[in-house]
């Protein structure tokens, strides 16, 4: 019984092992990047558009709207990071319909890497928006007693991001594997559909949580405009 695609090793050179996680991660990266390059070579501004350009425009504008709804008022700035997170996780779980494919997000290494990206990006965006002092003083809110708890929450939420995605993906793959060995052949397909749904929900949740964390870091200090209700 395998817990993760890390244990499938295609090729080995000394201490470097080329496992299935690396292979499928690079395949997904090639698919996303190559597809985007192919589509954006011939962009048109008039009403005659290719279907692919329409698809990309829908994706980009939807992700922008979602980021704006969370409270980040300049979504273009964060679109690259958050959109890439969403598209990668979503593509990783959507491709599970391909036979022989193992989702790279079903390995703890991939999910920890993605969560570490969020862990590093949140302070960067926060410092960029409100300066170093402003961001660090947000840890001292509401009082300085909360400082250790704020730091602990920062670390534990990163861990939770990683383990949540990994657990969902791994459990999906494992349940299908167990069912294939004990049930007839139609029932695993139903579970696979359920797995696709969970994968999309997890992709949404991962990116929306990253957005919420960034929004919290960016707007922790900015005073809200007080609505005057005395008139």
Partner 1 sequence: MDSMTIIAIVSIFTAGITTGFGCLGPALGEGRAVSTALSSLAQQPDAAPTITRTLFVGLAMVESTAIYCFVVSMILIFANPFWNHFIAQAAGK
Sites of contact with partner 1 (CB under 8 A): 1, 3, 69-70, 160, 163-164, 166-168, 170-171, 174, 201-202, 204-205, 208-209, 212
To the nearest whole angstrom, how small is the minimum distance from the Cβ of residue 166 to partner 1?
8
DSSP state of 171: H
Which residues 6+ apart lie within 8 Å of 140 measured at CB? Answer: 146, 147
Q: Smaller CB distance to partner 1: residue 105 or 130?
A: 105
Q: Smaller CB distance to partner 1: residue 160 or 180?
A: 160
Q: Report which secondary-structure segment, H or E, holds 160.
A: helix 147-182
Q: Smaller CB distance to partner 1: residue 137 or 198?
A: 198
145: left (phi over 0), alpha (psi -120 to 50) or beta: alpha
Q: Smaller CB distance to partner 1: residue 130 or 173?
A: 173
To the nearest whole angstrom, how small is the minimum distance from the Cβ of residue 209 to partner 1?
6
To the nearest whole angstrom, how small is the minimum distance from the Cβ of residue 3 to partner 1?
5
To the nearest whole angstrom, how small is the minimum distance from the Cβ of residue 26 to partner 1?
26
Q: Smaller CB distance to partner 1: residue 52 or 204?
A: 204
Mapping DSSP to helix (H, G, I), strand (E, B) and coil, where does residue 12 land?
Answer: strand
To the nearest whole angstrom, how small is the minimum distance from the Cβ of residue 151 to partner 1?
19
Q: Which residues are bridge partners to 113 per DSSP? A: none
51 C-beta neighbours (distance < 10 Å), count: 8
Instruction: Give the separation between CA 169 and CA 175, rounded to whole angstroms.
Output: 10
Which of 105, 109, 57 lies closest to 83 in space, CA to CA? 57
Q: Smaller CB distance to partner 1: residue 156 or 222?
A: 156
Tokens 């200090």 belong to residue: 221
Instruction: Pull the structure tokens for residue 224.
Output: 């809200």
């Amino acid at each position: 019984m395998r817990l993760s695609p890390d244990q499938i090793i295609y090729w080995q050179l000394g201490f470097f092992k080329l496992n299935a996680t690396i292979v499928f991660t690079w395949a997904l990266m090639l698919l996303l990047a190559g597809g985007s390059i192919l589509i954006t070579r011939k962009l048109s501004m008039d009403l005659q558009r290719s279907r692919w350009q329409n698809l990309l425009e829908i994706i980009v504008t939807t992700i922008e709207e979602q980021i704006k709804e969370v409270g980040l008022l300049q979504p273009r700035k964060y679109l690259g990071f958050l959109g890439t997170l969403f598209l990668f996780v979503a593509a990783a779980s959507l491709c599970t319909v391909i036979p022989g494919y193992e989702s790279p997000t079903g390995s703890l290494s991939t999910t920890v890497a993605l969560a570490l990206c969020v862990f590093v990006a949140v302070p960067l965006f926060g410092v960029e928006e409100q300066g170093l002092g402003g961001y660090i003083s947000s840890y001292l809110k509401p009082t300085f007693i909360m400082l250790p708890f704020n730091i602990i929450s920062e670390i534990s939420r990163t861990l939770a991001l990683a383990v949540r995605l990994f657990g969902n993906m791994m459990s999906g793959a494992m349940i299908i594997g167990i069912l294939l060995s004990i049930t007839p052949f139609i029932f695993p397909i139903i579970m696979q559909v359920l797995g696709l749904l969970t994968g999309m929900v997890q992709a949404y949740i991962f990116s929306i949580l990253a957005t919420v964390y960034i929004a919290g870091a960016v707007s922790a200090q900015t005073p809200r405009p007080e609505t005057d209700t005395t008139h």
